[in-house]
Amino acid sequence: MPFVKKEYFVENEIPAFLWLMRRFRLSQGEAQRVIDRGRLLCEGERLPDKAAKIKGRVEVVYFQPASRGRAPILTTPDFYVFDKPSGVLVHPKKMTSPYSMLDEVRHYGGRKANAVHRIDKETSGLLLASRHKEAERFLKGAFERKAIAKRYRAWVRGRIEHPFGVSAPIIQNDDYGPTKHKVFIDSAGKGAQTDFFPILYDPVRDATLLECRLYTGRTHQIRIHLFHVKHPILGDPIYGPDYATAEAYLEKRLEPEERWRKTGANRLMLHAYSLEFVYKNPYYIVSRDDFVDAACEICPPQLRAPVSGGWKGTERP
């Protein structure tokens, strides 16, 4: 478990944030966030506010990374790049969450290292992490300014032979009664543009590997745009299958074989393939994971076969 609790004894009364700053070498803002998140207990009780004082037995809950050996594929003095596997969170959702990519980020980079963007749990691929606060501010700002170009790859249902674009506004769903979709295509939503380029067609699975270029960063943008044009991503349990399947997935009772039958894969077949940006130097970083042959592993063993046949487009349109 990455979060651990350690007990201390404070002999003389002292403001809680000041004790944290001195004991753990934190800034005042970092110490106050520990208190705000309920990670400092005095005599077993959470502190009422940041100005509280402590004395006696105190407990501190803190993140202790537990690496599983997934080393960064690129290391610079300012940032790391990791290849995140499908099924792993970027950040723990709660203190009881198991392994996440933050374990690797902090294992290699220390307490001040941090992931600077998010990737959905089931999406695999490149994750950028800062090594210090200055890099974190710059890289998060670069994502907000759209100064970092992200390209994804996706296996989708059906045969696609020509590049195409989708320009369709996206709105958040506020009623999960009739559908489990998190977002919809709606004229009242925010503008969104995605371009798609076919790379490879697999006739065995009747599936096309696409490169996806985002020009906006809406929630589930690639997924909803591909669903909108009737080429949903293989393995997508929300955008594509029926309501019962989506509900079963969200309630963690959808069996792998049933998911494969309903969606074509046992995971979301979306991969963060490349990052391109400038940080002191220009960088173009490509994932090392082989997503072309990933389709071999997304169906039951009796149907597994190498991806082959069909036509093949350019690797970098």
Tens digit of each residue's pLDDT (9 = 90 or more) over 236-285? 999 999 999 999 999 999 998 899 999 999 999 999 999 999 999 999 99
CA gap 290, 81 in Å, rounded: 16
Q: Residue 212 corresponds to which tokens in the numbers above?
A: 């996806």
Mean pLDDT, the chain, as a whole number? 89
Percentage above 90 pLDDT, the chain: 73
The count of residues in the chain is 317
Query: Is 2 a residue whose pLDDT tops 60?
Result: yes
Calculate the alpha carbon distances from 225 to 61, 159, 171, 188 in Å: 42, 16, 12, 16
Residue predicted with more confidence, 309 or 61 = 61
Q: What is the CATH number of domain 74-144?
A: 3.30.70.580
Q: Do domains 3-63 and 74-144 have the same CATH topology?
A: no
Domain 3-63 CATH assignment equals 1.10.275.10: no
Q: What is the largest CA-CA distance in the chain?
A: 75
Lowest mean pLDDT among 72-76, 82-86, 296-300: 296-300
Confidence bin at 95 (pLDDT 50/70/90) = confident
Confidence bin at 85 (pLDDT 50/70/90) = very high
Query: Is 94 a residue whose pLDDT tops 60?
Result: yes
Are 40 and 10 in contact, with CB atoms under 8 Å apart?
Answer: no
Q: What is the mean pLDDT of residues 22-33?
A: 89
Tell me, yes or no, if 120 is annotated catalytic.
yes
- Which pLDDT score is estimated for 93? 81
Q: What is the mean pLDDT of residues 134-151?
A: 96
- Which pLDDT score is estimated for 298? 55
Lowest mean pLDDT among 100-109, 207-216, 287-296: 287-296
CA gap 140, 159 in Å, rounded: 37
Q: Where are the domains of the chain?
A: 3-63, 74-144, 149-303
Please enumerate in sequence order all residues whose Cβ is within 8 A of that of 149, keeping only pairs 6 or more positions apart, or say none: 213, 274, 275, 276, 277
Q: Of 49, 78, 120, 202, which one is the catalytic site residue? A: 120
- Hey, what CATH topology would domain 149-303 get? Pseudouridine synthase (3.30.2350)
Lowest mean pLDDT among 18-22, 37-41, 65-69, 105-109: 37-41
